[in-house]
Amino acid sequence: MEDKKAKKPEDLFGKVNRLPATGGHVVSKEKLLEPCDDEDAVATVFCIGCGEYTKVSDIGSKNLASKSEIELPVSLEGNYFRAERCIMCDDDYKKVSLSKIE
Ligand SMILES: [Zn+2]
């Protein structure tokens, strides 16, 4: 039987390949609340398309919000962005909304 998790050479060396945007990924609260080494990160973007979590800085979150016409709260604590597509599986974040971590 084929192991679907086996690493193919392109997985190891080819960073040009995008993640497949299969959709339907479910957010994990634990992942959202995982501590982050990046001091600039103020929020997490979860992508429903490919299931990836990416951190955004203050400037990044403002850019996301203005592009998606989201009104940002004073603090993003307790919130995360949901996107249908992200930079890991598409050209840019798409269909972004702000959700509560719950
Ligand atoms: Zn994605």
Q: How many Å lie between the centroid of ligand 1 and the Cα of residue 73?
A: 24
> Are 53 and 27 contacting, i.e. CB atoms less than 8 angstroms apart?
no
Q: How confident is the model at residue 37 (pLDDT cuts 50, 70, 90)?
A: confident
Residue 22 has pLDDT above 80, yes or no: yes
pLDDT, position 2? 54
Q: Is 49 left (phi over 0), alpha (psi -120 to 50) or beta?
A: alpha
pLDDT tens string 46-93: 999 999 999 999 999 999 999 999 999 999 999 999 999 999 999 999
Q: How many Å lie between the centroid of ligand 1 and the Cα of residue 95?
A: 11
Q: How many Å lie between the centroid of ligand 1 and the Cα of residue 84?
A: 7
In this structure, the chain runs to a length of: 102
Q: How many Å lie between the centroid of ligand 1 and the Cα of residue 24?
A: 11
